[in-house]
């Protein structure tokens, strides 16, 4: 445990955590991070250094309160289809229970997205025997709209394999667009009422510049890389994401949960470490950004820690850029 009165300090220091998905259930903020393991393996563009095997759930009963680690909520040994690398998860409450969505490599080495359910937001969670059919890549984020429809956003480049799925079929040798070609976007699909399947085939989200043209693959300061998150503010949809190798958290806005979205600007400038992955949540009338960096390990990319900061909008609804 650790107190989080200072945004410069990690939420917890007894384990390495990353990719925090924060949600308010009742009067408590629950954080669903990935769990970095200590090892001396190679860092590479395939993400082999991220060897996570389980999930812990964290919680705050007030801003600045001690952070509670509720312990192991799900382990890969309890998920029949998983071979390794349980990466960034997300959660939602619906139908009288809590759902944990998570990506992992299946037995064939391809990333898929699974779902587990539980009766308590802190877990434990019990996984479905197979992954969601039609799912692929990484970084699921689930969003319930005002009409109670639930959407999943997902997808990550490079180690996240999104380039390999451009045709809807996994092609090991496929490469993504480059230069002035339109960049790949995250995927979105509406979920079935029981949240165990897609109600439709996933579709690509288009992210546009201020002139209405798709962001290009060469525009690495703005184009999508990984870590999608959706929230709604004053009736507008905010799609936020990581630019990956350029280390920014940025956002785009739109009038539909499926887009298109127009790029608006940066949320967070680069942190210590390779990239970042975040969530945005409202709590007691204020908004907060949860993110990670590698400050706890002195900059080791796969030994990260979760932090948070208050997020603010200007009078026009633009997110004010923050420094980590």
**Catalytic residue flag (residue 19):** yes
CATH architecture observed for domain 2-311: 5 Propeller (2.115)
Domain-wise residue ranges, the chain: 2-311
Q: Which of 19, 36, 69, 90 is catalytic?
A: 19
Residues 142 and 195: their CA atoms lie apart, in Å, by 10
Q: Is 147 a catalytic residue?
A: no
Tokens representing 159 are 């180690």
SS (H, E, C) 85-118: CCCCCEEEEECCEEEEEEEEEECCCCEEEEEEEE
The C-alpha atoms of residue 294 and residue 205 are separated, in whole angstroms, by: 30
Edge-first strand listing for the sheet containing 305-311: 279-283, 286-293, 305-311
Would you state the pLDDT for residue 43? 60
How far is residue 124's CA from residue 301's CA, in Å, rounded to a whole number? 28
Catalytic residue among 49, 69, 90, 226: 226
| pLDDT for the residue numbered 42 | 63
| Contact indicator for 35, 54 with CB cutoff of 8 Å | yes
Q: Which pLDDT belongs to residue 49?
A: 65
Q: Which of 138, 26, 150, 16 is nearest to 89 (CA)?
A: 138
- pLDDT of res. 282: 98
Residue with tokens 């210590």, as numbered in its chain: 272
pTM of the predicted model as reported, rounded to 2 decimal places: 0.95
pLDDT score of 301: 79
Give per-residue pLDDT as tens, 56-68: 999 999 999 999 9
pLDDT by residue for the chain (324 residues), tens only, comes to 444 446 669 999 999 999 999 999 999 999 999 998 876 666 655 666 667 899 999 999 999 999 999 999 999 999 999 999 999 999 999 999 999 999 999 999 999 999 999 999 999 999 999 999 999 999 999 999 999 999 999 999 999 999 999 999 999 999 999 999 999 999 999 999 999 999 999 999 999 999 999 999 999 999 999 999 999 999 999 999 999 999 999 999 999 999 999 999 999 999 998 778 999 999 999 999 999 999 998 888 788 999 999 999 999 999 999 998
């Amino acid at each position: 445990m650790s107190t989080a009165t200072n945004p410069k300090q990690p939420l917890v220091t007894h384990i390495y955590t990353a990719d925090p998905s924060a949600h308010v259930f009742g009067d408590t903020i629950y954080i669903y991070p990935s769990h970095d393991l200590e090892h001396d393996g190679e860092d590479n563009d395939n993400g082999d250094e991220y060897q996570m095997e389980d999930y812990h759930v964290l919680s705050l009963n007030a801003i600045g309160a001690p952070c509670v680690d509720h312990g192991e909520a799900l382990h890969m040994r309890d998920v029949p289809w998983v071979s390794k690398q349980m990466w960034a998860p997300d959660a939602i409450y619906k139908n009288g229970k809590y759902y944990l969505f998570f990506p992992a490599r299946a037995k064939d080495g391809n990333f898929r997205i699974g779902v587990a359910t539980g009766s308590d937001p802190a877990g434990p969670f019990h996984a479905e025997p197979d992954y969601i059919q039609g799912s692929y890549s990484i970084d699921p984020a689930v969003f319930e709209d005002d009409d109670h429809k639930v959407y999943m956003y997902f997808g990550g480049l490079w180690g996240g394999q999104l380039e390999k799925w451009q045709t809807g079929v996994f092609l090991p040798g496929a490469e993504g667009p480059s230069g002035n070609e339109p960049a790949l976007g995250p995927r979105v699909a509406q979920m079935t009422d029981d949240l165990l399947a897609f109600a439709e085939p996933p579709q690509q989200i288009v992210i546009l510049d201020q002139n209405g043209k798709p962001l290009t693959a060469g525009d690495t300061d703005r184009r999508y890389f990984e870590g999608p998150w959706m929230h709604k503010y004053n009736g507008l949809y905010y799609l936020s994401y990581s630019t990956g190798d350029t280390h920014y958290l940025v956002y785009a806005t739109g009038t539909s949960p499926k887009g298109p979205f127009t790029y608006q600007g940066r949320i967070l400038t680069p942190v210590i470490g390779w990239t970042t992955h975040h969530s945005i949540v409202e709590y007691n009338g204020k908004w907060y950004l949860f993110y990670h960096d590698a400050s706890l390990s002195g900059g080791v990319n796969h030994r990260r820690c979760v932090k948070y900061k208050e997020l603010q909008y200007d009078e026009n609804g633009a997110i004010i850029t923050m420094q980590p």
